[in-house]
């Protein structure tokens, strides 16, 4: 299995038979307004360009997974790409109507805790809570995905979430071989964080049975945690070896021997 990190939460999961695009934000730097104006510097988003080496794999995409509708997980350029290529899309049942309205080829809508067929294997929708306290409500619904594909490592895409009982259940009971955590500690100008604090990211990685990929950093202006900061914390905790913190455009290869 190859996983290419684009930027933010965007990635491709390449298996023997498919290339799955996850939460595509593929537009140019600065095409969206800032997500915070006062707490952090009001830079236009994305704050970095999409690496050139991400473009070729887009031509091979066979499927798309969308965890929620925030523009840093599905931007206008991604919508245009998905419509032009007529890429089959899998999403939450709560987003199905809106995505079809936007003209996307939604072929599968997933319910929470319901395991269903997916690309010859199985997929299950996992509850995600987009923030601590009150902010989770206006942040809207989010769905993580637990995926098992034939002859591949199991993958848990936790998506934009804080650490919850649902997250803990997947890590400790399902025991995914690759777990992905949004680690940028995003915050608006008001309210509590929208993503796990660094302390909860550490907890997530400690409870991950095998390998963790930390993403959602250094691509949008409301995420203060950097790769260097996270690496420093994980090194002190003795967790760096079981964590990948990819640079934008980096390709990670996983097999049974290296998880």
pLDDT confidence band for 256 (50 / 70 / 90): confident
Residue 208, in any domain of the structure: yes
Residue 82, in any domain of the structure: yes
Threshold 0.85, pTM exceeds:
yes
Number of domains comprising the chain: 1
Residue 52, in any domain of the structure: yes
Contact 21, 12 (CB under 8 A): yes
pLDDT one-digit tens code per residue, 21-78: 999 999 999 999 988 888 778 899 999 999 999 999 999 999 999 999 999 999 999 9
pLDDT one-digit tens code per residue, 132-188: 887 878 778 999 999 999 999 999 999 999 999 999 999 999 999 999 999 999 887
Average pLDDT of the chain, as a whole number: 95
pLDDT one-digit tens code per residue, 98-147: 999 999 999 999 999 999 999 999 999 999 999 888 787 877 899 999 99
- Residue 223: name the closest of 183, 257, 250 by CA: 183
Residue 179, in any domain of the structure: yes
Q: Read off the CATH number of the domain in which 150 is found.
A: 3.60.15.10
Residue 241, in any domain of the structure: yes
Q: Which domain holds residue 154?
A: 2-246
């Amino acid at each position: 299995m190859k996983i290419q990190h684009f930027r933010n939460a965007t990635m491709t999961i390449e298996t023997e038979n498919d290339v799955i695009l996850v939460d595509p934000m593929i537009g140019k730097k600065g095409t969206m307004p800032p997500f915070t104006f006062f707490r952090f510097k009001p830079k236009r988003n994305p704050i970095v360009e999409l690496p050139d080496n991400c473009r070729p794999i887009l031509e091979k995409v066979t499927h798309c997974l969308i965890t929620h509708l925030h523009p840093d997980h599905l931007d206008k350029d991604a919508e245009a790409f998905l419509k032009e290529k007529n890429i089959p899309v899998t999403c939450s049942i709560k987003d199905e109507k809106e995505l079809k309205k936007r003209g996307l080829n939604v072929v599968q809508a997933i319910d929470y805790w319901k395991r269903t067929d997916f690309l010859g294997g199985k997929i299950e929708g996992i509850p995600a809570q987009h923030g601590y306290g009150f902010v989770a409500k206006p942040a809207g619904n989010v769905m993580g995905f637990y995926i098992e594909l034939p002859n591949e490592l199991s993958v848990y895409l936790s998506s934009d979430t804080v650490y919850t009982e649902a997250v803990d259940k997947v890590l400790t009971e399902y025991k995914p071989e690759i777990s992905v955590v949004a680690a940028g500690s995003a915050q608006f100008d008001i309210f509590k964080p929208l993503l796990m604090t660094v302390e909860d990211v550490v907890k997530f990685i400690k409870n991950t049975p095998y390998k963790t990929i930390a993403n959602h950093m250094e691509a949008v202006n409301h995420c203060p945690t950097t790769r260097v900061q996270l690496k420093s914390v994980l090194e002190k905790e003795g967790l760096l070896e079981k964590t990948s913190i990819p640079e934008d455009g980096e390709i990670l290869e996983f097999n049974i021997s290296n998880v």
